[in-house]
Each structure stands twice: as C-alpha cells, then as structure tokens.
Amino acid sequence: MSRFQLPASLRQTRNYVDGEFVATAKTFHNICPVDGAVLADVHEADKALVDRAVAAARRAVEGEWGQADAAERARYLYRVADIIERRFEAFLAAEVADTGRPLSQARQLDIYRGIHNFRTFADLAKVANTDFFETRLGDGTRLINYVTRKPLGVVASISPWNLPILSLTWKAAPALICGNAVVCKPSEETPSSATLVAEAFDEAGVPAGVFNVIHGFGPGSAGEFLSTHPDIDAITFTGESRTGTAIMKAAAEGVKEVSFELGGKNAAVVFADADFEAAVEGIVRSSFTNAGQVCLCSERVYVERSIFDRFVAALKARTEALKVSWPDDEGVFMGSLISREHREKVLSYFDLAVQEGATVVTGGTVPVFGDERDNGAYVLPTIWTGLPDDARCMREEVFGPVCHIAPFDSEEEVLRRVNDSAYGLAASIWTTNLSRAHRVSPKIHVGIVWVNTWFSRDLRTPFGGGKLSGIGREGGRYSLDFYSETTNVCVKV
C-alpha cells in the first residue's frame, strides 16, 4: 500500500455524466508514481458513455444553462470554488498521489490556481465588454454596430497529467461562464482531481449535463471518441504536439474551433549584467520545477561567455543541493516523474545526449533510495554542456528535469539561436539592463517572455504559443472570445 492515499470516494474513480457518477465494466489502475503502488481502479468510458455525455451537454446548453446570464452562471462557479477551498486537503492529497509533485509546491500553486480560475473568470465575465461603433456613410446614413457573445455549444476539454487541476479549471471556468457545457477528459495518468471537481459541481447543484468528466485513454478510447464526435463544437487541448496534430486533423472534418497549448523547447538567456544569484535560482526553478514536467520549463539555457564557467559551476552546486525525495518530506524540491514509462523516455534522452557528445555536468542517472521509492519513477536533475544546436537533444522536447547550458557572445547571435526552434511557447531573459530587456523581448518568437522571473503572470493576459507549441490564445478576454460565438449587429439609425 502506498503512503499516499486518495479520498475514499476515489478508490473507485468513476465518470461523471449528466449529473450522475457512472461506473463501467472496464477499469484500469491508477498507479502512484512515487512508489509504484495502485491507488485506485478507474472506470474507462466507452463510446456509448461519451455519446451520452455529449448529448447531456447539448441539452444543458439548449436549456437553462445556455440561457442564463453571466451573473447567474457566476454564482454557481463561486459555489464550486468555495467547495474546492473547503475540501482543499482532499484535492491536495489527490494531486500529490497522482503526480508525485512535492506537497509544498502543490499547496502553493495547483489547488490555489484551481480555485482562482473559477473566481477570476466568474468576476471577469460580469464586467466584460464588447465593441460598439458608430458610423456615418457617404450618403449621410448613420449606423451603429455592436458585438454580442453567445455560447459556442459543447466544448471538449482534454487536459494533461503534469498540472491536472490547474489545466482542467483553466479550460472549464471560461468555457462555462460563457454559457457552454463541457465534457472533460483528464489524462489517464491523473484522473483523481478532475473527479473531485465533478464532486464539487455535484454538491454545488450545477444543472445536470453542464460539467461532465469521462475517463480513458487516447486512440481507440475516450480521447478519440470525444475529439472526433460530430456534436462537439470546439476542442481545447493541452498536451504533446503529436497528439495535437492528430486532434487538429479530426477537428478539420467538422471545421471546429480549436485552442491548443502544446509542447515547448524553451530557452532562457542570461546576460553578463544579470543579478547572478537571482539568475541561478531562476534557472533552477525554470528547469527542474515539477521534475521538468511543465511545458514552460527551460531546456535550453544560453549564458554570456564572460560568466559562462562561473554560471555552470554555480548551477551545478545549486542543483546538487536540491532535495529529491518523498513529496511530503520537509524541504523537498523534486519528486518523481509521472510514470516509469515516461522515465524510460527521459532516460533515453540521457543516453542520447552522451552519444551526441554532451558533457554531463551533474545528474543523468536514477537515484537509489533503498526503500519503496525505488519502485517509483525518479531521476536526478541533469545539466548538460557541449552539444551543438542541431543535436536532437537541443531540438526535441525531453519533458524532464534537464537543461543544456551553452555560451554566447552577442545579442544578435543569441536571438538567432533562441529562435532557431520548431517550438514557440516561452522564453526568459535575465538582465538588469531595462533597455535590453525591452529590445530583446519582442524579437523572440514565442507566446510569453519573462524578464527576471518565470512562471508568473496576470490571468487576464493572453497565453499560448506558435509553431509546434500550439494555436490560439486563452486568458482574460481572449478566453471569453474563444469560448464564445461573436456576432456583429448592424443597425441603421
């Protein structure tokens, strides 16, 4: 038995469809990545249950939910947020057991953000405005044009395993406040927090069919059944780029709205004038938080040559001081990877980097604990140097606790190298030169650039990437625009 336990209601993790928790004949194990123990049996949705969920969502959109105003829908979302806050410890236990993420990090970010997502979009929708224009034509005719928002309909939301409750609520909250109904498919690796959110919706009395959760896998399972369903109006997906490509092909059949936040091979640039200690600490966070399993993590680090050797030494010392252990240990920085299967992928890149000529500054191996953690999915945080920019380990997303550090000599050079990527999600710049920060940031081809920080932003700002990192933007009014059908009403005065 694992030392990490799920709330009792999740030992049999069921689907939530049309206001009911539904068991199915086929189940699969939810495995704790920390020690390899079975946490729960998860009930896999078949095609008939996915059809039922979509039909229930359609009835909700065409019924009272779709016809309610934003203030009324907001009252329900506030109630859901209050229930999550009251059950904070249960959500925390589920998040840590499913992901192996350090307890302190999940407490400070994940559950808080889940609550905050519901409240933020409930607040935003009540005060959101649209466009209004007055026009006079050449013949003297006066027109007024105003824009209205209406629900898109049924939204399929497919969320990843690395930040389960954060990702799910980031999609569900704006979709729901706009009057849509949602069918959520969490990752098969992390089904627990989505089911707890369903319990919150059930307790809050949200009308049946508004919020649905189906469990299963991708191809030939719930993910494919949902993304190819003809009665889905929009798809929002966060995950790896290959899966996004497959979903986009399916969505093209019905010309559905899509918003994809995909992978990243993100760069960090440290200039010689940076606050040295802050930059070292920032790169540790941006490379190794959540064992590097964040699409925004920095896997490519470029350091100005005059401080390169000093920076590599300092980052090595700081990395080797990080505590890799049980998620609930005091002072732990890094827990396990999500699964032993994913660990095999990360370890294959460890081997490949050496084959491609990397110098392993630190890490590159599996730690040995001598206890149940050896049945888990741990690796050590790893730093490489010496790879050319065209190495596979510099081009492909590892999605593990790794970074490669390379020297650079000029602004122009580093911008060229940073932008030479098939991905375009995020970057960070470390400098005390304000002019340089403003000059360089717009020249990096990504959706978000951080200056002297990482993984923080105002939720009202746009979020998303380009190239293989995705399509579309969500956040603030950008989310309201995506999850709504906008109509221009033109009136002759």
Tokens 């002297």 -> residue:
452
Is the separation of the CB atoms in 330 and 370 below 8 Å? no
The answer to whether 423 touches 467, Cβ cutoff 8 Å, is yes
Q: What is the dihedral of CA 65, 154, 98, 7, to 10 degrees?
A: 30
Residues with Cβ within 8 Å of 345's Cβ and at least 6 positions away in sequence, in order, are 399, 400
Token representation of residue 147:
């824009």
Give kind and range of the element (H or E) at residue 21: strand 20-22
- Alpha-helical runs (H) found in 178-260: 192-204, 222-227, 241-254
For residue 350, what are the contacts with CB-CB under 8 A and spacing of at least 6?
364, 365, 379, 382, 402
Please, which residues bridge with residue 491 across strands?
A: 144
In whole angstroms, give the CA distance from residue 301 to residue 312.
10
Determine the longest span between alpha carbons in the chain, in angstroms.
Answer: 86
Neighbours of 390 (CB within 10 A): 9
Type of residue found at 184: C
**Catalytic residue positions, numbered:** 261
The Cα 4–Cα 135 span in angstroms is 64
